[in-house]
Amino acid sequence: MEFIRSATFLCSLFLASFVSISEANFNLTILHTNDEHSRFDEFGPGDFDKCTQEFQESGECYGGIARRVSAVKEIRKETGNVILLDAGDRFQGTAWYNYYRGSQTAMFMNNMSYDAIAIGTHDFDVDVEGLANFLESLTFPALGCNVTRQMNALDNLIPCSTVLNISGELVGVVGYTHPANKEYSRTGNLEIAPVIESLQEEVDRLTNQQGVTKIIAVGHAGISIDQEIAQQVEGVDVVVGGRTNTFLYTGEAPSSEVPYGDYPIVVTPDSNPEGKVLVVSAYRFGKYLGRLDVEFDDQGQVQSYNGNPLLLGSHIEKDVGALETLNNFRGPVDELMASNLAYSMVTLDGSINTCGRGECNMGIHFAEAMLNYQLSNESFPGWTQASIALYNADSFRISLPQGYVTYQDVLDVIPYGDTIDVIELRGADVILVLEVSVTNLEADGEPSGGFLQTAGIRIIYDLTKPAGERVVSVKVLCTACDIPRYEPIDDDMIYKIVTNNYIATGGTGYGVIPDMLISRVKGADDVDVWADYFRSKSPVWTAVEERVTFQEDSKCNNGGQYKLNWVVSVFCSALWIGLTYRFKALIDI
């Protein structure tokens, strides 16, 4: 009997010890979003598809603020210790942003009780003052350890960190943004410091001065920098990232997105070979709600983890209150979308089959809009500083038929939320960029999404030559002149070029541009630029002007038409005129 009592006591002691250890651990659920870009309405199976009746009936509509609200409410109801974070880029991309400029974003995020957010690249699209108005309306902090304040509207509005008290446990959250935002966003006189050093300084302060042992970094710098933070910043346990629209998923993906890697990415930190830091991201547009469940020990070390992004599909009920709020503010947005901008007397052809093989009139119209925007924003003597506009063919999603052009039409053509920027390149580098334009283009072959639509520049290509040697001739409109005229490009001259931020940052195969950039100034939203141009140019009758031509022996099929070298064309015309004159002279005799 004594043996049994002793054994029972030892077992009880063991169990008590086990419970004590288990209770010392802390479980936290991290919900996270990123790169939502004002997607309040649900959308179809493609990121830029509308949620049509057909898609609704087939259960292929996703996202939307009402589903997001519903999912967050349900998770908070079923589990404790939940925090909600956002990794930046809430602005730009839909008419909700174009009309409300972020005020509705702030309202919905406040209603959802976010705990903290990071500052994204597009969050500066409303300029420093506009961003300040947005931040002042929030009921939670926007964090940025590497954003240094410089006596402007953002003073004291972007703290480095916040400490959350979750069931008596302290959880630190530190923020960061991409260092390149200083160059590529409308940051005014803000300075953006290196990410790693800025975060490490704050993590050390939280750990040493406040005793915080569980720290999450939330930021908008891309998956590569997110992983660098996990590896190099000592004391960080979880990194919640955005900017690169990275989709992570463990197991079979629930929709069409192909995972970049498992969710979460597990990184071994330099400071602790036995430790692990978890990196997560939740794609874009609110199609998913990220969910990471983490167990910490009493030292703040990650012990276990689980989770995956939750697909916000038709199986998620829409929150009735959120839908009602959305509909209450929908009227002005619908009115903006339906507003007529101009009347087009011609079809504006934006098909890849045309624009990806040669110039197209939609490309010409938009390139001219870009130049016109630059002219209207210059304040120096002379007719312009930037006389060249370049735009990639695969930015156009649809063509526009003859008839009235609405704001909705413009959004349907260019829905990506780009900005119209001004970059500087040397003449020789401009030629290299033009070589990229036709690298993947073959005579009578497949169209190329990277083919550049142009304004202020005339180019002759020879597709029979090897890639990289296909530019035969380039002429550009002079800028330091009273009367604009085309002149041969100067290899050593620095040219200002108007383009979209996608091309400027290396998209569609233009990875050479970031390495060659002398400068870049971020501009207005592409939709607003084109909408304003439509308003000022009605009626529209844009023609194909042979700004881009091909040598005769490298004919490029452009919608069934072949373009000849202009030299040959001029020679043939002169020959025909001469023969006609000679024939007439013979008749007169």
Would you say 241 and 263 are in contact if contact means Cβ atoms under 8 Å apart?
no
Inform me whether the pLDDT recorded for 487 exceeds 60: yes
- Please indicate whether residue 187 or residue 137 has the higher confidence score (pLDDT): 137
Can you give the pLDDT at residue 10? Answer: 36
Residue among 386, 381, 349 nearest 370 (CA): 386
**DSSP element (H, E) containing 584:** helix 566-588
Inform me whether the pLDDT recorded for 576 exceeds 70: no
Inform me whether the pLDDT recorded for 7 exceeds 60: no
Indicate the SS3 state at residue 508. helix
Can you give the pLDDT at residue 190? Answer: 83
Inform me whether the pLDDT recorded for 578 exceeds 80: no
Same fold, 25-331 and 340-573: no
Can you give the pLDDT at residue 149? Answer: 65
Inform me whether the pLDDT recorded for 583 exceeds 50: no
Backbone dihedral angles phi then psi of residue 118, each to the nearest 5 degrees: -105, 165
CATH of segment(s) 25-331: 3.60.21.10
Inform me whether the pLDDT recorded for 161 exceeds 60: yes
Q: Rounded CA gap, 464 and 5, in Å?
A: 94
Question: Lowest mean pLDDT: which of 44-53, 125-134, 193-202, 403-412?
Answer: 125-134
DSSP H helices, 101-171, are 103-111, 127-136
**DSSP element (H, E) containing 238:** strand 238-242
Whole-number mean pLDDT of the chain?
A: 89
Residue among 135, 181, 182 nearest 154 (CA): 135
Inform me whether the pLDDT recorded for 557 exceeds 60: no
Inform me whether the pLDDT recorded for 18 exceeds 50: no
Mean pLDDT of 329-340: 96
Share of the chain above pLDDT 70, in %: 88
Mean pLDDT of 207-214: 97
Looking at the DSSP bridge assignments, the partners of residue 491 are none
CA distances from 313 to 51, 148, 194, 248 (A): 12, 40, 38, 17
Residue among 121, 118, 124, 125 nearest 98 (CA): 125
Question: Lowest mean pLDDT: which of 55-69, 141-155, 390-404?
Answer: 141-155
Would you say 322 and 385 are in contact if contact means Cβ atoms under 8 Å apart?
no
Mean pLDDT of 168-178: 97
Query: Where residue 9 falls among pLDDT bands split at 50, 70, 90?
Result: very low
For β-strands 386-392 and 452-455, DSSP reports them as: antiparallel
Mean pLDDT of 292-298: 97
- Please indicate whether residue 230 or residue 189 has the higher confidence score (pLDDT): 230
Question: Lowest mean pLDDT: which of 41-45, 150-154, 380-384, 553-557?
Answer: 553-557
CA distances from 454 to 412, 458, 565 (A): 21, 8, 18
Query: Where residue 16 falls among pLDDT bands split at 50, 70, 90?
Result: very low
Can you give the pLDDT at residue 150? Answer: 57
Can you give the pLDDT at residue 571? Answer: 41
Question: Lowest mean pLDDT: which of 326-330, 495-499, 521-525, 571-575?
Answer: 571-575
CATH of segment(s) 340-573: 3.90.780.10
Can you give the pLDDT at residue 453? Answer: 98
CA distances from 12 to 20, 25, 353 (A): 12, 20, 76
Structure confidence by residue, pLDDT tens digits, 468-485: 999 999 999 999 888 999
Indicate the SS3 state at residue 549. strand
Q: Rounded CA gap, 250 and 290, in Å?
A: 12
Inform me whether the pLDDT recorded for 356 exceeds 80: yes
Class of residue 584 by CB neighbours under 10 A (exposed 0-12, middle 13-18, buried 19+)? exposed
For β-strands 142-143 and 340-344, DSSP reports them as: unpaired
Q: Rounded CA gap, 137 and 115, in Å?
A: 14
Report domain extents, the chain.
25-331, 340-573
